Every structure is written in C-alpha cells, then in structure tokens.
Amino acid sequence: MKKRLSAKRKKQRPATSSVPATRWQLQTAKARFSELFRKTRTEGPQWITKQDKEAVVMLPAEDFEALTARAKQPKSFVQFMRESPLMGSGINLEREEDYGREVDL
C-alpha cells in the first residue's frame, strides 16, 4: 500500500509555482502530520486531497497573513484622510456652501 500512495503523490515543485507543490491524501496527511508540517514550513503550500479531489491547502503562517492582511489599508475614510501625505500641507480644501439654483415653476 505504501508503494501505491507514493505513486499517487505528484513530483514536488517549487512553492512559487502556480501548480501545487505536493499533494497528500487526507489519511496520509493525518498519519504523517509532522512531515506535512515540516514540508509546509520549508517547501511552501501543501495540498491535501479527499477522494482524489482537492480539499484544502496547508500554508505557512506568513503566507496566510500576507493573503489575508489588509496591507496598509486604513480602517475608515477618516483615518485615510488623517494619514494622507497632504495632511498639514496648507492646501485649502474648504468650499463655499451651495444652496442649489432657483427654478421657475
């Protein structure tokens, strides 16, 4: 059975490739979790399949953070304006009130 499992696993590729680095069957991933963990940290994302269908991907924490982080994006428009490089530059952003135009009915 060990020979059959290793034959199903695809050849390892660099983590930077758009093709999955390594595929693991779920039961193999459970039985060899320490190895799966180590390979994820050293080689990049590891695909885990169930019934020969892609199910989940195990990522290093840094990769996950990079994918989910809202990098340098402010939480609100007010915060965005406060952190603007134009803040304190002396530009006058005030405008006169506009009450609309008169309409003949």
* Residue 72, pLDDT score: 61
Rounded CA-CA distance 45/13 in Å is: 10
User: How high is the pLDDT of residue 86?
Assistant: 79
Predicted local confidence at residue 50, as pLDDT: 92
* Mean pLDDT (10-residue bins), the chain, 105 residues: 44 43 89 95 93 90 82 73 80 84 89
Q: Which of 15, 11, 6 is nearest to 43 (CA)?
A: 15
For the question of whether the overall pTM of this predicted structure is more than 0.85, the answer is: no
> Domain segments of the chain: what residues?
2-65
List alpha helices for the chain, DSSP H.
2-8, 26-31, 33-43, 61-68, 77-82
Confidence (pLDDT) at 79: 82
CATH H-level superfamily of 2-65? YefM-like domain (3.40.1620.10)
CA–CA gap between residue 40 and residue 62 (Å, rounded) = 11
